[in-house]
């Protein structure tokens, strides 16, 4: 390229950049990415948490709609708390919509915390919403998977849903400014650590939520967030059963997207937007043991007014490895077709097998 051509090209780029910046200045938008990604922000619980974690309203997605300082003054079914927890079978939160009858694709940035226990300034999951839950503790992460009447957390009936994580294509996370804490790795029920790597799929009346040990060397791999369109079966292989509530110990799964075929370790590549993902492998379901089954929904007796009682075990337990079954008990995903919303912002991997969790919706910011 001649110097004259090179200078001309640079001047053209500067002109385009100036035009784009002027347009952005007119709307108040100055950038897409935050100065510090959400996953790089750390705050001690509870005293170190600011009112809002995302304090850059001039970014392209606008300002954080909820807040992170949550307490008795914010508690209730109108709470906009965006600080969540995953501790145990009877003590966890899910991301749900702030407004009734919402589509996940339209509200992933505004999702709020719905928790099984009152006392943290969040909304409380209604006692009859959860239909079956499995909690697994492994050397690298804790995970909760189950079945839910998603309308009770303001997700529209029939919505195939989507994935929430602390990254997103713009590094601000979904929801914007959403924080996650757990006492599962600290050795003390009173000590909460911030979970840097986590992922939550919601939709099709099912959910899966994984929080990776912040001290673990492979947290980012076990809580991988790039496979947002192939659902729970591939991101969190499980044996959750509708109607069963159990807590187990378990082996760690293979990294999402990684599998062994004919003795060779392979890595799946999710296709680009507009191409339907169609994995050709079956993920390994990790073995579980020392499972304790609890009676029905006695675990989740907190009402919207905050009344609660202690869970009681049914006394039954199981041990040893579990293998994948051919039934429809596990929260999994089936064949799919892609669909795009009216703004071209989302692809939905649809469920075509009754009783199976099929989604996974991906918007531009779900990566």
Q: What is the pLDDT of residues 136-145, one digit of tens each?
A: 999 999 999 9
DSSP 228-291: TTSHHHHHS-----TT-EEEEEEPPPPPTTEEEETTEEEE--PPPTTS-----S-PPPPPEEEE
| Vertex 50: Cα angle to 223 and 154 (nearest 5) | 60
Tokens of 89: 């079978």
Percent of the chain with pLDDT over 90: 71
Please return the burial class of 209, using the count of CB atoms within 10 Å of its CB with bins 0-12, 13-18 and 19+: buried
Domain membership of residue 10 (yes or no) is no
Picking from 124-138, 257-271, 339-353, which range would have the lowest pLDDT averaged per residue? 339-353
26 pLDDT band (50/70/90 cuts)? low
Length of the chain: 367
What is the predicted pLDDT for the residue at 4? 45
Q: What is the mean pLDDT of the segment spanning 289-313?
A: 67
Q: Looking at the predicted structure, is the pLDDT value of residue 213 above 60?
A: yes
Tokens of 120: 């943290």
Q: Do residues 352 and 336 touch, judged by C-beta distance below 8 A?
A: yes
β pairing state of 288-294 and 141-148: unpaired
Tokens of 3: 């110097």
How far apart are the C-alpha atoms of 12 and 17, rounded to whole Å? Answer: 9
Domain membership of residue 36 (yes or no) is yes
What is the predicted pLDDT for the residue at 232? 98
What is the predicted pLDDT for the residue at 332? 59
Tokens of 252: 């760690």
343 pLDDT band (50/70/90 cuts)? very low
Among residues 217, 242, 238, the alpha carbon closest in space to that of 139 is found at: 217
Picking from 43-57, 114-128, 325-339, 345-359, which range would have the lowest pLDDT averaged per residue? 345-359
Picking from 135-139, 182-186, 296-300, 314-318, which range would have the lowest pLDDT averaged per residue? 314-318
The domain total for the chain is: 1
295 pLDDT band (50/70/90 cuts)? confident
Domain membership of residue 4 (yes or no) is no
How far apart are the C-alpha atoms of 96 and 156, rounded to whole Å? Answer: 10
Q: What is the mean pLDDT of the segment spanning 4-16?
A: 40
Domain membership of residue 7 (yes or no) is no
Q: Which domain holds residue 246?
A: 31-363
Sign of CA dihedral 258, 259, 265, 270: negative
Query: Distance between the two ends of the chain, CA-based, in angstroms?
Result: 37
Q: Residues of 260-275 as b/e, b for ≥16 C-beta within 10 angstroms?
A: eeeeeeeebebeebee
List strand residue ranges (DSSP E) for 89-227, in order: 91-96, 112-115, 123-124, 130-137, 141-148, 162-164, 179-182, 193-194, 198-203, 206-212
Tokens of 37: 């990604």
How far apart are the C-alpha atoms of 337 and 351, rounded to whole Å? Answer: 8
> Cα-flanking dihedrals φ and ψ of residue 243, to 5°?
95, -5
Domain membership of residue 209 (yes or no) is yes
**More confident position, 30 or 281:** 281
List, in sequence order, every residue forming a beta bridge with 139; answer none if it has no partner: none
Domain membership of residue 19 (yes or no) is no
User: What does pTM read for this prediction?
Assistant: 0.80
Domain membership of residue 8 (yes or no) is no
The string of pLDDT tens digits covering residues 143-172 is: 999 999 999 999 999 999 999 999 999 999
Three-state SS for 254?
coil
Q: Looking at the predicted structure, is the pLDDT value of residue 23 above 80?
A: no
Sign of CA dihedral 58, 59, 64, 69: negative
Per DSSP, 80 falls in state -
Q: What is the mean pLDDT of the segment spanning 38-62?
A: 97
Percent of the chain with pLDDT over 70: 75
List strand residue ranges (DSSP E) for the chain, in order: 83-88, 91-96, 112-115, 123-124, 130-137, 141-148, 162-164, 179-182, 193-194, 198-203, 206-212, 245-250, 258-261, 264-267, 288-294, 313-318, 346-347, 362-363
Three-state SS for 23?
helix
Tokens of 51: 């009112």
Domain membership of residue 24 (yes or no) is no
Q: Looking at the predicted structure, is the pLDDT value of residue 221 above 90?
A: yes
């Amino acid at each position: 390229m001649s110097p004259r051509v090179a200078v001309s090209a640079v001047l053209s780029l500067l002109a385009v950049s100036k035009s784009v910046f002027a347009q952005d200045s007119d709307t108040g938008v100055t950038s897409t990415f935050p100065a510090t990604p959400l996953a790089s922000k750390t705050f001690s619980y509870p005293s170190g948490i600011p009112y809002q974690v995302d304090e850059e309203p001039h970014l392209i997605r606008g300002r954080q709609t909820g807040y992170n300082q949550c307490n008795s003054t914010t508690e209730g079914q109108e709470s906009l708390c965006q600080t969540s927890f995953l501790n145990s079978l009877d003590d966890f939160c899910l991301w749900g919509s702030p407004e009734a009858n919402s589509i996940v694709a339209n509200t992933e940035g505004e999702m709020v915390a719905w928790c099984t226990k009152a006392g943290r300034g969040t909304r409380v999951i209604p006692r009859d919403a959860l239909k079956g839950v499995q909690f697994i503790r492994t050397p690298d992460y804790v995970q909760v998977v189950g079945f839910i009447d998603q309308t009770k957390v303001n997700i529209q009936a029939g919505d195939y849903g989507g994935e929430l994580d602390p990254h997103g294509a713009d590094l601000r996370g979904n929801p914007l400014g959403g924080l996650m804490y757990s006492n599962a790795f600290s050795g003390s029920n009173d000590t909460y650590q911030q979970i840097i790597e986590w992922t939550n799929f919601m939709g099709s009346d099912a959910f899966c939520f994984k929080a990776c040990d912040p001290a673990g060397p492979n947290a980012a791999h076990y809580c991988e967030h790039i496979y947002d369109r192939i659902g729970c079966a591939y991101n969190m292989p499980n044996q959750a059963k509708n109607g069963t509530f159990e807590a187990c110990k378990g082996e760690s799964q293979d990294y999402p997207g990684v599998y062994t075929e004919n003795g060779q370790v392979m890595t799946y590549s999710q296709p680009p937007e507009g191409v339907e993902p169609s994995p050709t492998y079956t993920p390994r379901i990790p073995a579980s043991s020392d499972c304790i089954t609890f009676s029905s929904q006695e675990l989740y007796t907190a009402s919207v007014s905050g009344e609660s009682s202690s869970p009681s075990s049914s006394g039954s337990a199981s041990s040893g490895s579990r293998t994948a079954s051919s039934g429809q008990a596990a929260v999994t995903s089936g064949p799919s077709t892609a669909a795009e919303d009216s703004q071209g912002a989302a692809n939905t991997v649809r469920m075509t097998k009754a009783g199976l969790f099929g989604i996974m919706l991906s918007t531009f910011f779900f990566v």
